[in-house]
Amino acid sequence: MLRIESSDVIPARIDSSNQDAFQGRNFTLVKPRWVDDSQASSCKLCHNKFNQIRRRHHCRSCGLVLCNKCCSEKLPLPQFGSQLADRVCSACFPIASCVTMSYSPQQEFRLQAALSLSTLCRDKPAPVVALGGAHMLVNLAKLTQHSNVDIMVHISSAIHTLLMHTDLVEWFVSIGVLNALSVMLGVPSSAVALKQYTVLTESLNSLRTIAKANDSLKLKVAENACLSASLQLCSRQDPSISLVAATVVSLIAQYQPTHGHILAVPNVLRTIILKISNSEEEQITEQMLKILEVLSKGNDEIKHSITSEDAACGSLLAKVFQTNPKNLQIYVNTASTVGNLATNSIDQVLLQSSFNAVLSALNRSFPNYVTYELIRAAANFAYHRCNSQFLIQNFSTVVKLLNHSNASIQNETFRCLFNLFSNRSMDTIQLLSRNGVESFLTRFSEQSALMENTKNFLNSTKSNYA
């Protein structure tokens, strides 16, 4: 049972254990259960009472009992395995006729079916779902493939319209809509530009709706060909297409189990990094960086792959800091990505330009949320002894943040300097003695867990003298 526009709807079902409507034409829908004559004293549509003149008739599409006036249409119903003309009520006829036409091998009938279903999905979504219209949209996508862009336009529009009903999303995925959308995303480049744009935007927006619904559906999208198609569309010259595609992939990437599928797409990291470098639209850059940022939270192998690809592309992450974007989230995503990569010990040489870019950026004035990510990245770099000299050279830039008004920034600054102290203790002491020792000790005293551990360690080594 689904809820559509305040109505409870029992969706159509395929008469098989396999409910995937993308499987082909070798399926029929479960026939509706007929309402017993004894339970119907009046017509369901006009509400006139039945009598010896006004006789009862069953609609073969919905199973309700109606009068002859309201149930006089005749239509073949191949969706139920019937090639003969059957009675259909006036309420079912618009949708049932579309479903019937979709079975035709002739393109003009399929086009008319797709066009009408697109309108009906907007005006009468509940009966479309109940009478098999959604199944036929999925199946038409398989039958049409890329042979008729006009049909693809109407299918993509109808699918997007239905997916705007929240309760339909998971059910629609269960009957194969992702496969239908993967066909839509492959609309041929030779198609008329406006039609191609419509198919792609409608399909990508449908994918975005699905990916936003829940993590389970994010994984289903990642397992489908829709993922690689969306990644390819990220590289499109049209910024509106590229932005929606990047948003879709960014949403999918928020769920960690999808990362393996993303990284399995050929040349995916190079595609992302080059798009970050080449895009003139800051919203696209932000989304592509967000994808890279969540991927960079993976294991050391993934971190190494990202770092190596960035280095092969000319250390583009470091160059992002020099672009002065108006969108500060670009700084945040870049600094967070670099900070995540900095935890991998084997890549410190490849990351030197990024580390220098982070230290340089710390000299600038940013909102707290940007500064936090920058100093967090610096603290992660400081963990590795090979980076100590860079920190010593930029000590004055870092140490001033010990007195920052934001406690989280203070703590990350202390972590940065404590890591430096662990690697180059004498140099750090000398630098602190000139500037910052009081602030450093103050921050140290605020680290209750560290203080307790230090005290316990020192007291565990005390000697007893006679």
**pLDDT tens, residue by residue, 303-329:** 999 999 999 999 999 999 888 889 999
CB of 81 closer than 8 Å to CB of 70: no
The pLDDT of 225-229, averaged and rounded, is: 95
Given a cut of 80, whether residue 164 has pLDDT beyond it is: yes
Q: Who has greater pLDDT, 283 or 451?
A: 283
Chain-centroid distance, C-alpha 452? 44
Give helix then strand counts, H and E, for the chain. 25, 6
> Could you please report the per-residue DSSP string of 162-230?
HHTSGGGHHHHHHTTHHHHHHHHTT--TTS-HHHHHHHHHHHHHHHHHHHHH-HHHHHHHHHSTHHHHH
pLDDT of residue 462: 62
Band (pLDDT 50/70/90 cuts) for residue 25 is low
Residue 463 is predicted with a pLDDT of 56
Mean pLDDT across 36-48: 92
pLDDT of residue 426: 95
Closest to 339 measured CA to CA, from 301, 291, 299, 303: 303
pLDDT band at 440 (very low <50, low <70, confident <90, very high): confident
Q: What's the confidence (pLDDT) of residue 466?
A: 44
Query: In this predicted model, what pLDDT tens digit does every residue of 201-220 receive, in sequence order?
Result: 999 999 999 999 999 999 99
Percent of the chain with pLDDT over 70: 98
Largest CA distance in the chain: 119
- Of the candidates 163, 132, 9, the one whose C-alpha atom is nearest the C-alpha of residue 60 is 132
CA 199 to chain CA centroid, nearest Å: 18
Task: Identify which of 231, 213, 102, 218 has the alpha carbon closest to the alpha carbon of residue 163.
Answer: 213
Q: What pLDDT, on a 0 to 100 scale, did the predictor assign at position 365?
A: 92
Q: Is the pLDDT of residue 464 over 70?
A: no
What are the domain boundaries of the chain? 362-454
Read out DSSP for 379-401? Answer: HHHHTSGGGHHHHHHTHHHHHGG
Alpha helices in 313-386 (DSSP H): 316-320, 329-341, 352-361, 368-382
Q: Give the per-residue pLDDT at 441.
A: 85
For the chain, the average pLDDT equals 92
Give the tens place of pLDDT for each residue, 60-102: 999 999 999 999 999 999 999 988 999 999 999 999 999 999 9
CA atoms within 13 A on the CB side of 398: 34
